[in-house]
Structures are given as C-alpha cells and as structure tokens.
Structure 1
Amino acid sequence: MILKRKQTTSYIWKTLEDLFLDKKDAKVIEFDNELHNIVMDYSFATKYCSHIKTIIGLLDNIETTVPEKNIATYLINGLSPKFDLVAIMIRHKTPLPSFLKTKLIILFEEQRMEHNNCRSGLSSRNDHASSPTILNVSRWSH
C-alpha cells in the first residue's frame, strides 16, 4: 500500500480494511483446507486434538465459525488406524457427539490402549516369580 499526502483518514482505513478482508478470505481457505486434510500424525491424541482446536480458534479470530458437528467430524476422520473401532462407534452415535465429548472418548481410549500395552509388556516378559527359567548357581572349585 502506498500512501499519498492528501489522502483522508477514512480512505486509509478503507484501504486497510480491504487488504485485511482479502487476506481473511485467503486464510479461511487455508485453514479450512487444513481441517479437511488433517490426520493424526502425532504420537498422542492430546496433541492432535489441540492442533484441531487451534485451527478452529484461528478461524474464530477471523469471524468464521465452524459448526460443532463439523469439528467432531474432522476429529474422527483424521484419526490414526489404531482408533478405527472408536471412530466407527462415534460415527454411529445419534446425535454425533460434540468435539469435547469426542475428544474425551478418544483420550480415554488412548489411555486404555496404553494401559493394556503396559500390562501385556509385563506379562510377556519372563523375569517374574512364576518364570519357567531357573537361576542355576554353582560353586566353582579352585
């Protein structure tokens, strides 16, 4: 934008507003595209959900509201394959849960999976009291 000496304040404000609105539409398209293509490539569901919520917040900041139903849909559609069964269950709920409820379901499922992984990791090891391996100690004669 080039300012000239004899421009009125209202003209300058109008020019700035037009520039902002032009960028606003481009940002809406960018954020909307990101939401449509978001996938859970994070190691934890909390990061994934926070990333979605951040994009929604950015859209809110530029006066673009995303319907709650759409937010939950974006969240479900981008889940990693380990959440396939949960995603199917959530998709068939009527009505579709809110973003917050969907997030909580996913976080609880992630905790359950981690807990089961820890338990299965311990039970598959053979270094416990019921281990079939015997420690054989003998004295060496010198």
Structure 2
Amino acid sequence: MTTIAYKDGIIAYDGRCTAGGTIVYDDFDKMRERDGAFFFGAGGMSEINDLIKAYHGEEISGDCGALAIVCKSGELSLISYEDGRIVESSVLPDKAYAIGSGRDHAYTALDMGASAYQAVEMAAKRDTGTGGKIRTFTVKVEQQ
C-alpha cells in the first residue's frame, strides 16, 4: 500500500507500487495535483484516482477504499469515501499524522521524535508495502 507521514510542515511518502506480492515500481511519485489541491493517497491507484474525482464533485461508481491527505491553501485534511460521499476531517498542523499500510510503524517513529521522512524510512524496514524512493512535500501556509 504505502506510508504517508506528516510532521512539522513536511509530508513524506514512499515510492513503492505493488501488484499482489510483486514490487512493480520503487520510484513512483504518489503525489497528485488537481485544481490547486495536492493529494497524497494510500490504496490502489484506481481508487485514489476515484477519490480525487469524488473530492471534486464527480460521480464515481462502486466502492472506494482509498484514503488521502489533501493539502489545499496550506490546510491539511484527511479524506475518504463512505456511503456515496466524501468524508473530510482536519489534520491539525501541530500534530504528527500517518496513513497507509505502514502507519503504525510510522507513528511509533514519530512518537520517538523522528521527522516525517525518518518515519517513512522506519516504516519501510517493517512494512512490505512501503519502500523505495522517499519524497517530501513542504506545506505552504497561505498568508492572510
């Protein structure tokens, strides 16, 4: 699946894509941008694409089990798709956060003082769905 971690204005995410038990890519850029919003998704790529469509008001068919951290205008939120609608909740900028198959490992690393990048690095040591190139994104807060 993946590991995406947030701490101190930095989102870190791995580059591993798998198909079953096979590693397809280890350098895939999982960040997606649409209409000024940046999406960092955990789940299957088609489900992440559906989640982004639903976020922008497009209709999707079927279930969508993906989650994503969204950065829009310097604000962070977590989105999912439940009962035919987008569910969005705030991610507090002063709190550490993690999603994906390696989230538990990332949370432990974050609790021990690791940066978002280091948390993804540590998750990759134990989670088979996390690995490869780790990228970072700096959250830019809009000036009021």
TM-score, scaled relative to structure 2: 0.25
Structure of greater Rg = 1
Higher strand share: 2
